[in-house]
Amino acid sequence: MSTLSEKIEQRAARIVIIGIGYVGLPLVVEFARAGFRVTGYDKDPEKVRRFNGGESYIEDIPSSTLGPLVQEGRADATCDTTVLAQADAVIVCVPTPLNKTKEPDISYILSATEEIAKHQHRDMLIVLESTTYPGTTREVLVPPLTRGFVLGQDVFVCFSPERVDPGNKHYGTRNTPKVLGGSTPHCLAVGQALYSKIIDQVVPVSSTDTAEMVKLLENTFRAVNIGLVNEMAQFSRNLGIDPFEVIRAAATKPFGFMPFFPGPGLGGHCIPIDPLYLSWKLRALKIQAKFIDLADEVNSSMPEYVVGRVVDALNDRKKPLNGSRILVAGIAYKKNITDVRESPAFDIIAGLKKRGAHVSYTDPYVPEVNEHGVHLRGVDPKDSFADYDALVIVTDHDSFDYPRMAREAQLIVDTRDVMRHHVSERHNIVGL
Ligand SMILES: NC(=O)c1ccc[n+]([C@@H]2O[C@H](COP(=O)([O-])OP(=O)(O)OC[C@H]3O[C@@H](n4cnc5c(N)ncnc54)[C@H](O)[C@@H]3O)[C@@H](O)[C@H]2O)c1
């Protein structure tokens, strides 16, 4: 243990990050800034090319930050798996999606682990950061990594969930506390030594299973609370009450209440997916995760609910959806980012089209999309909004000109309650 720990203390440990996407790239930058020599290993040659040209492809990392680190030789990227043989510490940041039947797809973790095992040597730290079900590190990583190596003596294995919140201006890698679990106490000690070089507060927990569960609790907490307010939004309308007004008023209670807001449906790589990793694991133990299943059901129904709001709002104006021109404002899954993964906008567009609407979209962050069966080029956000029968606000980007939308649009269905802050005259605006 001493050799590796000494290398870490002297910043002489060579770090390889597997997967240089939203999670991996910020880690490369932090470790390089802390004085380590870091290589990003990725299967995607386009990412590797851009990285080595000093060009960032993640909004939170400006090229002006990445570029100098590449130029000074502190960070580079490669598609060559043999770089793993030179690594002292390997951090795995590969995707963990769901397959078509909404079950965990851990194939990326499996292949990354096999690649590490092929190039493994004594005194190596391996940390998994991909979100996954409790038991993955112990059951999937440890067995192949301990063929001929003793856990806690010459191979050190940890799990540390990533908490990055893309677009968050206040919390980044360094000032977000980081939970860490080790396969043994020595594994934890080595992992803690490494992360303490780039994170202000490392939070050790007793096992890798616990660390895996922490991440799933955090995101299940969000999914369930969002499910609660989404259901409340639906029944509030039947009661003639504005759900957003209720939540804002409730949030004035200084204790015991935390506001969550309804919306058009969950999106992104985490909240819609992570809780299902847990419910899948529990199903194997014949346990039903009732809150998770219910939240998934309610949250998944929101795009269709939004389509229903559009149908009703047009109907009130004596118009059918069939044949109407609809502009969807915002296709990214949340505001001020380019990421469209799991965006509810796709289901909303599909639902509108299925009922005969002519659908366009506008999004300053996403000039065109070719995903989920939607092949569209976005309308310029500077174009007039007057030509559409309805404008559906799905993503509340700060840069949209909301007062102009209110002036020009015939009808606005505002799923984010964003117009409340921008206009007082609301005759053509319908809420979620
Ligand atoms: N994006 C977020 O906001 C966020 C936040 C917290 C946790 N996470 C979790 O972090 C993990 C990574 O997510 P991400 O958003 O960074 O994904 P991403 O798709 O942006 O990046 C993953 C990268 O891994 C590469 N890759 C896949 N398999 C590989 C392999 N075998 N060898 C080398 N490279 C490989 C891909 O080419 C890709 O560039 C996921 O488990 C996700 O749930 C993501």
| pLDDT tens column, 318-356 | 999 999 999 999 999 999 999 999 999 999 999 999 999
Q: 41 CB less than 6 Å from ligand 1?
A: yes
User: Is pLDDT above 70 for 411?
Assistant: yes
Say yes or no: 192 and 289 in one domain.
no
Distance 269 CA to ligand 1 centre (A): 9
Say yes or no: 202 and 226 in one domain.
no
Distance 325 CA to ligand 1 centre (A): 37
Minimum-distance ligand 1 atom for the alpha carbon of 165: 3
Query: What is the residue-averaged pLDDT of the chain?
Result: 95
Q: 215 CB less than 6 Å from ligand 1?
A: no
Minimum-distance ligand 1 atom for the alpha carbon of 129: 10
Q: 334 CB less than 6 Å from ligand 1?
A: no
Q: Are strands 155-159 and 178-182 parallel, antiparallel or unpaired?
A: antiparallel
Say yes or no: 55 and 130 in one domain.
yes
* 108 conformational bin, left if phi > 0, alpha if psi -120 to 50, beta if neither: alpha
- Of residues 353, 280, 20, 22, the one with CA closest to residue 132: 280
Minimum-distance ligand 1 atom for the alpha carbon of 166: 3
Q: How many structural domains are present in the chain?
A: 2
Q: Domain holding 305: CATH number?
A: 3.40.50.720
Please indicate, yes or no, if residue 154 is contained in any of the structural domains.
yes
**Among 13-17, 99-103, 247-251, whose mean pLDDT is lowest?**
99-103
pLDDT for the residue 10: 96
Burial 157-185 (b: 16+ CB within 10 A, else e): bbbbbbbbebeeeeeebeebebbbbbbbe
Which residue's alpha carbon is nearest to atom 30 within ligand 1? 112
pLDDT for the residue 90: 98
Please indicate, yes or no, if residue 410 is contained in any of the structural domains.
yes
Say yes or no: 249 and 395 in one domain.
yes
Residue 412 belongs to domain spanning: 221-431
Please indicate, yes or no, if residue 215 is contained in any of the structural domains.
no
Distance 384 CA to ligand 1 centre (A): 38
Q: What is the mean pLDDT of residues 384-411?
A: 96
Confidence of residue 237 (pLDDT cuts 50, 70, 90): confident
Confidence of residue 2 (pLDDT cuts 50, 70, 90): low
Q: 47 CB less than 6 Å from ligand 1?
A: yes
* 167 conformational bin, left if phi > 0, alpha if psi -120 to 50, beta if neither: left
Distance 94 CA to ligand 1 centre (A): 4
Distance 250 CA to ligand 1 centre (A): 37
pLDDT for the residue 151: 98
Please indicate, yes or no, if residue 403 is contained in any of the structural domains.
yes
Say yes or no: 268 and 386 in one domain.
yes
Distance CA 389, CA 371 (A): 25
Q: What is the mean pLDDT of residues 93-107?
A: 94
- Of residues 99, 78, 73, the one with CA closest to residue 17: 78
Q: 23 CB less than 6 Å from ligand 1?
A: yes
Distance 75 CA to ligand 1 centre (A): 18
pLDDT for the residue 289: 95
Minimum-distance ligand 1 atom for the alpha carbon of 41: 33
Strands of the 325-329 sheet, one edge to the other: 358-362, 325-329, 390-393, 412-414, 429-431
User: What residues act catalytically?
Assistant: 270
400: helix, coil or strand? Answer: coil
From 157, 182, 206, give the residue that closes a domain.
206
Q: 104 CB less than 6 Å from ligand 1?
A: no
Say yes or no: 189 and 226 in one domain.
no
Q: What is the pTM of this model?
A: 0.91
Q: Which runs of E-coded beta strand occur in 237-330?
A: 325-329
Distance 23 CA to ligand 1 centre (A): 6
Q: How many CB atoms lie within 10 A of CB 356?
A: 11
User: Is pLDDT above 90 for 247?
Assistant: yes
Q: 108 CB less than 6 Å from ligand 1?
A: yes
Q: 44 CB less than 6 Å from ligand 1?
A: yes
Please indicate, yes or no, if residue 184 is contained in any of the structural domains.
yes
Which residue's alpha carbon is nearest to atom 20 within ligand 1? 21
Distance 273 CA to ligand 1 centre (A): 13
Q: What is the mean pLDDT of residues 395-414?
A: 96
Please classify residue 151 by burial: count the beta carbons closer than 10 Å to its beta carbon, then call 0-12 exposed, 13-18 middle and 19+ buried: middle
Say yes or no: 289 and 371 in one domain.
yes
By percentage, how much of the chain surpasses pLDDT 90? 92
User: Is pLDDT above 60 for 79?
Assistant: yes
pLDDT for the residue 373: 81
Minimum-distance ligand 1 atom for the alpha carbon of 130: 41
Say yes or no: 112 and 239 in one domain.
no
User: Is pLDDT above 60 for 1?
Assistant: no
Q: What is the mean pLDDT of residues 174-198?
A: 97
- Choose the residue to mutate in 20, 22, 47, 141 for probing ligand 1, maximizing ligand atoms within 8 Å of C-beta: 22
- Choose the residue to mutate in 41, 60, 61, 94 for probing ligand 1, maximizing ligand atoms within 8 Å of C-beta: 94
Please indicate, yes or no, if residue 117 is contained in any of the structural domains.
yes
From 156, 179, 206, give the residue that closes a domain.
206
Please indicate, yes or no, if residue 212 is contained in any of the structural domains.
no
Distance CA 351, CA 223 (A): 23
User: Is pLDDT above 80 for 91?
Assistant: yes
From 206, 240, 255, give the residue that closes a domain.
206
User: Is pLDDT above 80 for 426?
Assistant: no
Which residue's alpha carbon is nearest to atom 26 within ligand 1? 19
User: Is pLDDT above 90 for 422?
Assistant: no
- Choose the residue to mutate in 179, 214, 269, 334 for probing ligand 1, maximizing ligand atoms within 8 Å of C-beta: 269
